[in-house]
Amino acid sequence: MKWVTFISFIFLVCSTESKHLPRRYRDVGPSNTIGHSYSELPEEDDFQGIVLVSFVHYVPNITFEDVEKMVYDITDLGKKCAADEHAVPECTKSIDILILDELCHEPNIAGKYAFTECCSKVHQERNECFLSHKNATQTSFPPFEHPEAEKGCKAFHDNRLIVLGRFLFEISRRYEDASILALFVAAAKYEQVLQTCCQEDDKAACFKEKASAVKQQLKHTILVEKQNCFILKKFGPKTLQSLKFVQVVQRFPKADRSVLHNITRDIVHIHEERCRGDTLESHLDQMALTKFLCGHQDIISTKIRGCCEGPLLERPICLATTVENDDPPADLSPTVREFVNNKEVCQRYAENHDNHLESFLYEYARRHQNFSAQLLLRTEKGYHDLLEKCCGLDVPEECLIEGEVLLRKHIADTLEVVRTNCDLYEKLGDYHFKNALLVRYTKKAPQLAFKELNEYADSLHHVAAKCCQLGDDKKLICAEGDTAFVLGNICLWHQRHHINGRICQCCSNEYAFQRECFSSIKEDEKYVPAPCTAELFPFHEDLCTPNANVEKPKLLVNLVKCKPAITEEQMKAVITDFYGLVAKCCQAENHERCFQEEGPKLVERTQAALS
């Protein structure tokens, strides 16, 4: 799709400006004006696409008709300024400023969408007002419905740009804080779906499969972005910077610490902009950072060459997801004993706490590329606590050396958690391992509905299926990193719908210790269970169909919800009794009648056994 090349253009023209000063308020040079922006593009619809997303992200409840008119207005201005940079005074302005100008100057738009107050402001205050207005007036939209296959293909054949523009409009307003790159990638993939499925005989089946995959990928990307925002909001930019710093150090262990510090500082800044809704500025800075990385491969890593030689649009995603860890320097010592076995350690820590801790994290992370980011952050916290304890002593050296023993124990404990869960997965198999996770998390969060519990158990099951087969050099990073993502989703849910106090504690305490905190919850002691009544256990003949493996986990969850303290032995006895009931009734002449007669008896036996 042609719009995506606009991102490449933005990437080129915005890469030389200073960091952290919002671009709209810098001096506008000739390479940043709307005319230059327009003329750099190979196709006019590229320009129109980015303008459309920007308008929608500022005013998500705007209609397509209102957006369409303003997009054409900005496009006409771009065309005019490209032909003559002095045609009108607006030609000296950049595209982001002109988008807000257009919203304010277009008749009736400001009043219609209630942002007149913002238009009385100028420069940064105006932008902040628009962002505050958007955040205060969030609109809920129904799920996007794809048109009927034949009609959709005809519309795409008749006017490709209108169909893609409408799709980009619809997903932009539903995901108003999503990165522009994520939305453009989704739109590009949707165009591929249209091109493929419109050639198929069974267009509807093709759309159902492929369009659903595009939707799921977009949702996953947005969840990742939301989790970064959650970390920023709950734990602050320092925690996010430490997390990103560890990940960047492991990937580029040859690069100097100062370079990686600045890269991660910029990454956090990009997330801060997007998390407060300023998606255009976030996008411009993301492209500028990509430009820097690709322009400085000699001091960062030669491993990024493949990404930097690819299409401009694909470079940021490639750099973030596909680059292999570079090899550590050949002369790197195997240990970091200088951080404990050195008389100057406490003096360095006293002179600059943050600098000393980051230096430790840098040296430790690039030597341990097989450790998860979460483990490395816990190691940094342990080292911090060790310094606080030991540096107050008259002779801190002996105390500091004791920290090595504690560190080795924590690493061993972390590896044992992964090994135990992988052994359990191998022993139980997919179906029963997922059911074990269902039981485990129903006890931790019985307030959750089956839908959410099943989703989280399924996600954790996929973590085991994916990570347990990997070698020791990748297993821990995979297992703890992917588990952190699932737990992050639980915390996002808790943020919107309070679950319970224990979950709240785990989601509010230090990020690096979330997995340990969740593991420590055996059950919610304050939960008051409902009685185990027959209504909770509807036994029907669908238990004799292939759908049984969907229904059985629901009964399992209801059992745990009404008896959260149930022991493993009691659980086995109930399950054995249940399977006996299913076998008996599925062999009976009238399945449903058998379940109606025998089901209540099973409930009574269960109540008696668990009372």
pLDDT of residue 27: 39
User: CA end-to-end span of the chain, whole Å?
Assistant: 64
Asked if 568 contacts 603 with a C-beta cutoff of 8 angstroms, the reply is no
Which residue is listed with tokens 């940064």? 124
pLDDT of residue 500: 97
User: Tens digits of per-residue pLDDT, 156-191?
Assistant: 999 999 999 999 999 999 998 899 888 988 998 999
pLDDT of residue 41: 60
pTM of the complete model: 0.87
User: Tens digits of per-residue pLDDT, 538-550?
Assistant: 899 999 998 888 8
Query: In 21-145, where do the E strands start and end?
Result: none
Asked if 155 contacts 191 with a C-beta cutoff of 8 angstroms, the reply is no
Distance CA 424, CA 460 (A): 13
| Ligand-binding site membership of 281 (annotated) | yes
Percentage of the residues of the chain whose pLDDT score is greater than 90: 71
User: Tens digits of per-residue pLDDT, 327-367?
Assistant: 999 999 988 888 988 889 999 999 999 999 999 999 999 99
| Ligand-binding site membership of 523 (annotated) | no
User: pLDDT tier at 49 (50, 70, 90 boundaries)?
Assistant: confident
Which residue is listed with tokens 């200073």? 18
Comparing CA positions, the residue from 332, 269, 263 lying closest to residue 299 is: 263
Question: 588 is written with which tokens?
Answer: 């009976």
When comparing pLDDT for 441 and 147, which is higher?
441
pLDDT of residue 5: 37
| Position 283 pLDDT exceeds 90 | no
pLDDT of residue 416: 96
Distance CA 82, CA 69 (A): 20
Which residue is listed with tokens 């054995």? 576
The average confidence (pLDDT) of the chain is: 89
The whole-number average pLDDT for the span 16-37 is 51
The whole-number average pLDDT for the span 119-123 is 92
| Ligand-binding site membership of 73 (annotated) | no
Weakest-pLDDT range from 40-44, 289-293, 478-482: 40-44
User: Tens digits of per-residue pLDDT, 186-220?
Assistant: 998 999 999 999 999 999 999 999 999 999 999 99
Weakest-pLDDT range from 259-268, 393-402, 410-419, 430-439: 393-402
Domains located in the chain, CATH noted: 4-225 (1.10.246.10), 236-327 (1.10.246.10), 528-611 (1.10.246.10)
User: pLDDT tier at 40 (50, 70, 90 boundaries)?
Assistant: low
pLDDT of residue 281: 83
Vertex 281, ends 277 and 282: CA angle to 5°? 70
Comparing CA positions, the residue from 151, 226, 218 lying closest to residue 182 is: 218
User: Tens digits of per-residue pLDDT, 82-105?
Assistant: 999 999 999 999 888 999 999 999
* Residue 311 DSSP class: -
Distance CA 551, CA 156 (A): 41
Asked if 584 contacts 598 with a C-beta cutoff of 8 angstroms, the reply is yes
User: pLDDT tier at 39 (50, 70, 90 boundaries)?
Assistant: confident
pLDDT of residue 37: 76
Distance CA 53, CA 35 (A): 19
Vertex 432, ends 429 and 434: CA angle to 5°? 95
pLDDT of residue 341: 85
Asked if 94 contacts 22 with a C-beta cutoff of 8 angstroms, the reply is no
Q: Which residues contact 116 (CB under 8 A, 6 or more apart)?
A: 110
The whole-number average pLDDT for the span 556-570 is 91
Asked if 204 contacts 74 with a C-beta cutoff of 8 angstroms, the reply is no
